[in-house]
Structures are given as structure tokens and as C-alpha cells.
Homo-oligomer: A and B are copies of this chain.
Amino acid sequence: MNGAESLVRTLVAGKVDVCFTNPGTSEMHFVSALDRVDGMRCVLGLFEGVVTGAADGYYRMKGTPASTLLHLGPGLGNGIANLHNAKKASSGIVNIVGQHATYHIEHNAPLTSDIEGLARPVSAWVRTSPNAKSVARDGAAAIAAASAAPGQIATLILPADTAWNEADGFAEVGEISQRAALSGTAVDNAAKILKSGEPTLILMSHRALREDGLALAAQISGKTGAKVMAQGSNPRMARGAGRYSIDRVPYVVDLAVNTLKDFRHIILVEAVEPVAFFAYPDKPSLLKADGAKVHSLCEIGGDCIGSLQALADAVGAKPSDAKPQQHAEIVKPTGALTHASIAAAIAAAIPENAIVVDEAVTTGRAFFAPTAGAKPHDWLQNMGGSIGYGTPVATGAAVACPDRRVIALEGDGSAMYTLQSLWTQAREQLDITTVIFANRTYEILKGEFTNVQAGSPGKKAVDMLNLDRPALDWVSLAKGMGVPGVSVSNAEDFHKELANSVKTPGPRLIEVLM
């Protein structure tokens, strides 16, 4: 057995049995090993940002890491933006990057580059395997690192000769770092604050936003009057009828400051202190009220459910203190496409147990509240702010959850970065509806232009913000990659196409002409 086969066997034994890949010459022995090792599903992407984003989406839904297979430094480079987003989402990924044979690196061939240097800013763990006999052990260590709570990016660099030389066999994954135990002191402190009656916000994210965490927070809120909110962006949030609906901290600084102005305490549950997405002249970076105190109930990767349960017990909160979200019967919208009619169409069409990937940027700001009473679903967001995360994450989520419909809500500007996702969706016949909100502009930047006090954009500046010359034709782009598409320009048609798509197996694209 060669090193590549020892690695594939180690991955499969370690339950890392999906590999999102865009391989090259230096990865051919890994690809060859797929023919000899059962149990590894390889999913090809035609651009590495699709590969790394899919691994992010997979982890968010599956809770265990997938692997990637990338081609040397530039292949890693193409995957960096979505590795950045995955890192900020605390997604676990076994990120495998091919390298030249160890003895070949010194010759500075065209593809030679500093792979470790490129990997470090987006990885919690980086290792170059030194020889074939170490590959299985290093692979097992990468799985352990990627799986460490709450999830990390572990980059394993695989020189070609470590893949083709003789190895000893697979390696077993050692101990995986689990979620840190709850802190009694933190629970006591939080209980004391809640009992004080001072205005308090419980700010949640990450694992705390699953159904169980939301239920516990709702009980605590019902008992104590504390407000519960989610971060502006969250890796995954359980929503819809029967769950416990909460708002998010707004993106716009003034709105966020206003939302937070009355809270004297902010208790963080797998969340971070609210900070502005960007800095703006004469606006604060930190969004809390002056003098407000920030407390941690549970760090990211800690035992958030145990902590919330202990806090509920400490304040005497019971399940009956929480009011679950009622299902809202939504009237199917008609007429013009407005933010409201689009949101209603989405809310009415979301099927039971859907996964919604939200990268609609400006158009999408209005979607959250109207969908609160839709059928139960998960809502996934961009954690690193690098647009182009949506269609890859949808791809990986669909691979992780073949029995659930995925709806990717995309801005046209955002979707262009990683449009190659559509081809993988067609190839794997994934049940994904991609909705493109075609406003033909980087609309968010027009607001940001003013927000940074650059005034109003003139002719040349506007030209850098508009995508209308030429207009992108998303139905043709989808057709070019094997995904059937349709263009809609009113609310009835949008709802009808969306509702049909979620009942039809395979991928589909709907271009919403704004």
C-alpha cells in the first residue's frame, strides 16, 4: 500500500468519507487509491472555491469534517476565500493540498510556492507530511484537529513522493478534543445578572442556535424577561414553526447601536461581542451601549446546551416559560417584485426541513422576519464576509443531507465568484434551488459608499458598482453548466417557480429580475 492509499484508508476509517476535490498531477495517486478503497465519495468541483465552500457547508449540516483535495499552492489559493469563511464559521475541514515531491521542491519548478505560508492564515493546524510512512499518522492527526470542538481547518500538505512511496497501512484517529465543560462560575454570574432585573441581552450563535439551545434560551427569556438575539451572521440557525424565533443584530451600524442601546449586560453564548462589520468614519467599532458589560456564559466550542440548561435551572425557568413560534399561513404574493413580496414568496414556499443558504446581501435583508413562521428549516449565513460562499455551501449542505431541499438565496454579484458550483450540482443531481436576485449591481456598495462618507458616486465610481453592462443572463449561465433555469419578473411567477422547484428532484435556478 502506498502513502496515498494509506491516507484514503485512514480518512474512511476516521469517518471522513466525502472528499470535495479539484486534483492535479501531484494528487493522481490519491485519485488512483479511490479505485481500491471503498467508502469514499469524491465530489469534483471545477474551481477550488467550490471545493472549500462545499466542505464548509457539509460540516455545518453533518457536524463531521469532509476532506478536500487541492493542487499545490495556487489550488489552495483559489480555495482561500471560502476557507476564510469556513474558519470564521468554525467548520472542521481536512484540507489536503498536494505538493511537489520532497526532492523536487528545491528546483523551483513553475508550481513551486510557499504552501505552508499560504495555509497558515486560514488554518488552525498545518503540517507537511515528510514521508510515505508518516502520511497515515499525519492524516489521522489532521482528522483529530479538524474535528476538535467546535471544528477547525486542518491543512495537510502531501508531497507527491509521500503519496507514491510504500507505507505501512492506515492509522487510527486518536483522542478528539471535545467541547469544554460548562463553567459553574459563568452560570452563577449569568444567573445573578438575570435576577438583578437590569436590562440584559442573551446573544447567541454557533451550536447554541440549534433547536435545543433556542428552546432553553426562550425559557430563560420567558422567566427573566431577558432578550435573546442571534449574531448578525451565524453558521446555522434552526427556524420556523415550532422553534423559538429570535432576531439578529442588524448589519447597519446605526440600527445595531439602536437595537443594543438599552442593554446594560450582554451575555454571550457561543457568540462574540457585537462589532461593526466594517469601520466607518465617526461610527463606533463596538456596538454595545456605553458602560454595558459583556459576560461569557459559554465560549465558542463550549458546552452551550449544558450551560443554558444550568442557567435555566439556576433562574427557575421551565419549558412552559417559552412560547414556540406559530406557523404563519402566508398569502401567496402577487404583483410586482418587492422585497416584501419576494420574502412572502420564499416564506410560503420553504418546504419542511429545508436548508436555506442566505447570500442575498441587500435584497435578503428583508427575508428574515417574514420567514420566521415558515415550515421548520435551517438558515445558513456567511461568517467570513467573503462573498461567493453561498452556492458552494449549498452544494456541500446538499451532499450532507440528501433528503433535504436546499434553497440558496443569492445576489447576482455574489454568485458570480463561484458560479462553477452549478456544474457540480448538475453532476451530482443535488436537490438545490438557486435563486439569483438580479439587481445587476453591487447594490450594497452604493450604500457603503455613502456610509464611509465618500459622498454620492459620480459617473466613474458608479461604473465600478454596476453590473448592467452587459446584463448577466443567469438562465444561460445555468444552462451552460447543465442546470435548468427560468427567469421571473413578478411575484406570482416567482412563488410558483420556487414552489415547483422544491418538489422537483435535482438542481434548478430561478433568476429574479429586480
Contact = CB atoms under 8 A, between A and B. Distances in A.
Contact of A100 (B161, B279, B463): B279
Given A46-B413, A473-B480, 13 more contacts: A24-B448, A29-B452, A31-B457, A32-B458, A35-B459, A42-B464, A47-B416, A78-B78, A110-B233, A110-B383, A160-B452, A161-B279, A476-B477
Contacts of A120: 114, 117
Interface residues of A, number: 103
Interface string A259-288: 000000000000010011111010001100
Given A35-B461, A73-B84, A109 B275 contact: yes
A460 B109 contact: no
13 contacts: A23-B464, A25-B445, A31-B461, A35-B457, A42-B463, A74-B80, A104-B275, A104-B279, A107-B286, A109-B275, A419-B420, A476-B476, A479-B480
Give the copy number. Answer: 2
B107 A275 contact: yes
A121 B117 contact: yes
A357 interface: no
Contacts of A384: 74, 110-111
B104 A32 contact: no
B481 A470 contact: yes
Interface of A: 21, 23-26, 28-29, 31-32, 34-35, 42, 44, 46-47, 49, 72-75, 77-78, 80-81, 83-85, 88, 100-101, 103-104, 107-111, 113-114, 117-118, 120-122, 160-161, 164, 233, 272, 275-279, 281, 285-286, 382-386, 388, 413, 416-417, 419-420, 423, 426-427, 444-445, 448-449, 451-455, 457-461, 463-465, 467, 469-482
A469 B424 CA distance: 9
A78 B276 CA distance: 24
Contacts of A476: 476-477, 479-480
A463 B46 CA distance: 13
Given A28-B454, A276-B109, A482-B471, A34 B477 contact: no
B472 A480 contact: yes
A458 B416 contact: no
A278 B100 contact: yes
A472 B423 contact: yes
Contact of A272 (B108, B121, B388, B471): B108
Contacts of A47: 388, 416-417
B164 A281 contact: yes
- Rank and list the top 8 A-B pairs by shortest CB-CB distance, nearest first: A470-B482, A77-B80, A74-B386, A35-B458, A477-B480, A101-B279, A476-B480, A104-B279
